[in-house]
Homo-oligomer: A and B are copies of this chain.
Protein backbone atom coordinates (compact mmCIF):
# COMPACT_ATOMS: atom_id res chain seq x y z
CA UNK A 1 0.00 0.00 0.00
CA UNK A 2 1.52 3.25 -1.08
CA UNK A 3 1.35 6.43 0.90
CA UNK A 4 -0.72 8.20 -1.67
CA UNK A 5 -3.34 5.46 -1.78
CA UNK A 6 -3.64 5.66 1.97
CA UNK A 7 -4.05 9.39 1.85
CA UNK A 8 -6.80 8.99 -0.71
CA UNK A 9 -8.56 6.58 1.60
CA UNK A 10 -8.16 9.08 4.43
CA UNK A 11 -9.88 11.70 2.30
CA UNK A 12 -12.79 9.35 1.71
CA UNK A 13 -13.02 8.41 5.37
CA UNK A 14 -13.21 12.07 6.20
CA UNK A 15 -16.23 12.45 3.95
CA UNK A 16 -18.20 9.63 5.54
CA UNK A 17 -17.21 9.71 9.20
CA UNK A 18 -16.96 12.10 12.08
CA UNK A 19 -13.31 11.76 12.90
CA UNK A 20 -12.39 13.06 16.30
CA UNK A 21 -8.86 11.88 16.73
CA UNK A 22 -6.04 10.33 14.80
CA UNK A 23 -6.70 6.95 16.34
CA UNK A 24 -10.09 6.97 14.67
CA UNK A 25 -8.22 7.04 11.40
CA UNK A 26 -5.99 4.22 12.56
CA UNK A 27 -9.03 2.09 13.36
CA UNK A 28 -10.97 2.92 10.23
CA UNK A 29 -7.92 2.26 8.12
CA UNK A 30 -7.51 -1.07 9.85
CA UNK A 31 -11.06 -1.98 8.86
CA UNK A 32 -10.07 -1.24 5.30
CA UNK A 33 -7.09 -3.50 5.71
CA UNK A 34 -4.56 -0.71 6.01
CA UNK A 35 -2.32 -1.20 9.02
CA UNK A 36 -0.58 1.93 10.19
CA UNK A 37 0.15 3.60 13.49
CA UNK A 38 -0.81 6.95 14.93
CA UNK A 39 2.63 8.26 14.03
CA UNK A 40 1.99 7.66 10.36
CA UNK A 41 -1.43 9.21 10.54
CA UNK A 42 0.07 12.24 12.22
CA UNK A 43 2.48 12.61 9.31
CA UNK A 44 -0.34 12.22 6.82
CA UNK A 45 -2.33 14.90 8.58
CA UNK A 46 0.61 17.23 8.34
CA UNK A 47 1.25 16.52 4.67
CA UNK A 48 -2.40 16.77 3.73
CA UNK A 49 -2.76 19.76 6.02
CA UNK A 50 -5.81 18.28 7.64
CA UNK A 51 -7.14 20.27 10.54
CA UNK A 52 -8.46 19.41 13.94
CA UNK A 53 -11.19 21.97 14.41
CA UNK A 54 -13.17 22.78 17.54
CA UNK A 55 -16.79 21.84 16.84
CA UNK A 56 -19.77 23.88 17.96
CA UNK A 57 -20.89 21.32 20.53
CA UNK A 58 -17.51 21.52 22.20
CA UNK A 59 -15.91 18.46 20.71
CA UNK A 60 -13.33 18.25 17.96
CA UNK A 61 -13.30 16.84 14.50
CA UNK A 62 -10.87 16.63 11.63
CA UNK A 63 -11.54 18.54 8.46
CA UNK A 64 -10.16 19.41 5.07
CA UNK A 65 -7.94 22.47 4.75
CA UNK A 66 -9.82 25.62 3.85
CA UNK A 67 -7.31 28.14 2.51
CA UNK A 68 -5.71 25.87 -0.01
CA UNK A 69 -8.93 25.72 -1.97
CA UNK A 70 -10.12 29.24 -1.36
CA UNK A 71 -9.17 30.68 -4.72
CA UNK A 72 -10.63 27.77 -6.61
CA UNK A 73 -13.61 28.18 -4.33
CA UNK A 74 -14.16 31.77 -5.34
CA UNK A 75 -13.79 30.99 -9.00
CA UNK A 76 -16.16 28.08 -8.70
CA UNK A 77 -18.70 30.11 -6.81
CA UNK A 78 -18.62 32.81 -9.42
CA UNK A 79 -18.55 30.53 -12.42
CA UNK A 80 -21.30 28.25 -11.21
CA UNK A 81 -23.48 31.22 -10.32
CA UNK A 82 -22.97 32.69 -13.74
CA UNK A 83 -23.54 29.56 -15.73
CA UNK A 84 -26.04 27.54 -13.71
CA UNK A 85 -29.17 26.33 -15.48
CA UNK A 86 -30.48 23.40 -13.46
CA UNK A 87 -29.47 20.57 -11.18
CA UNK A 88 -30.81 17.05 -10.76
CA UNK A 89 -29.65 14.36 -8.39
CA UNK A 90 -29.98 10.63 -8.02
CA UNK A 91 -28.05 8.08 -5.97
CA UNK A 92 -24.43 9.19 -6.02
CA UNK A 93 -24.91 11.54 -8.92
CA UNK A 94 -25.35 15.23 -9.37
CA UNK A 95 -26.20 16.33 -12.86
CA UNK A 96 -25.80 20.02 -13.53
CA UNK A 97 -26.96 21.80 -16.65
CA UNK A 98 -24.96 24.93 -17.46
CA UNK A 99 -24.95 27.42 -20.25
CA UNK A 100 -23.23 26.09 -23.37
CA UNK A 101 -19.46 26.21 -23.16
CA UNK A 102 -19.23 26.26 -19.37
CA UNK A 103 -19.37 22.52 -18.72
CA UNK A 104 -15.65 21.82 -18.82
CA UNK A 105 -14.71 24.82 -16.68
CA UNK A 106 -17.18 23.97 -13.96
CA UNK A 107 -16.19 20.33 -13.98
CA UNK A 108 -12.55 21.27 -13.72
CA UNK A 109 -13.11 23.67 -10.88
CA UNK A 110 -15.09 21.02 -9.02
CA UNK A 111 -12.12 18.72 -9.44
CA UNK A 112 -9.68 21.35 -8.24
CA UNK A 113 -11.68 21.85 -5.09
CA UNK A 114 -10.83 18.30 -4.11
CA UNK A 115 -14.07 17.97 -2.21
CA UNK A 116 -13.91 14.78 -0.20
CA UNK A 117 -17.44 14.05 -1.42
CA UNK A 118 -16.37 13.92 -5.04
CA UNK A 119 -15.29 10.71 -6.64
CA UNK A 120 -14.97 12.27 -10.06
CA UNK A 121 -16.44 14.79 -12.47
CA UNK A 122 -17.17 14.89 -16.17
CA UNK A 123 -18.08 17.95 -18.19
CA UNK A 124 -19.33 18.22 -21.75
CA UNK A 125 -20.29 21.48 -23.44
CA UNK A 126 -23.35 22.22 -21.33
CA UNK A 127 -23.49 19.55 -18.64
CA UNK A 128 -21.51 18.47 -15.62
CA UNK A 129 -21.83 15.07 -14.06
CA UNK A 130 -20.49 14.79 -10.55
CA UNK A 131 -20.04 11.30 -9.18
CA UNK A 132 -19.95 11.33 -5.41
CA UNK A 133 -18.37 8.83 -3.08
CA UNK A 134 -21.67 7.99 -1.45
CA UNK A 135 -25.27 9.07 -1.35
CA UNK A 136 -24.69 10.93 1.90
CA UNK A 137 -21.74 12.63 0.31
CA UNK A 138 -23.94 13.61 -2.61
CA UNK A 139 -26.40 15.23 -0.23
CA UNK A 140 -23.62 17.21 1.39
CA UNK A 141 -22.24 18.40 -1.90
CA UNK A 142 -25.73 19.31 -3.07
CA UNK A 143 -26.01 21.57 -0.06
CA UNK A 144 -22.70 23.19 -0.82
CA UNK A 145 -23.69 23.86 -4.40
CA UNK A 146 -26.97 25.34 -3.31
CA UNK A 147 -25.10 27.63 -0.98
CA UNK A 148 -22.91 28.79 -3.81
CA UNK A 149 -25.95 29.64 -5.88
CA UNK A 150 -27.36 31.74 -3.11
CA UNK A 151 -24.98 34.58 -3.84
CA UNK A 152 -25.49 35.92 -7.32
Contact = CB atoms under 8 A, between A and B. Distances in A.
A67 interface: yes
A58 interface: yes
Copy count, this protein chain: 2
A46 B54 contact: yes
A65 B75 CA distance: 21
Contact of A151 (B45, B54, B65, B74): B74
A13 interface: no
Nearest to A46: B54
A54 B58 contact: no
Given A51-B53, A71-B151, A46 B66 contact: no
Contacts of A74: 74, 77, 148, 151
A150 to B, nearest CB: 8
Interface string A42-54: 0001111111111
User: 3 closest pairs, A vs B, by CB?
Assistant: A66-B66, A46-B54, A49-B54
Interface in A69-85: 70-71, 74-75, 77-78
A86 interface: no
Contacts of A90: none
A147 B75 CA distance: 12
Contacts of A150: 71
A49 B53 CA distance: 7
Contacts of A51: 51-54
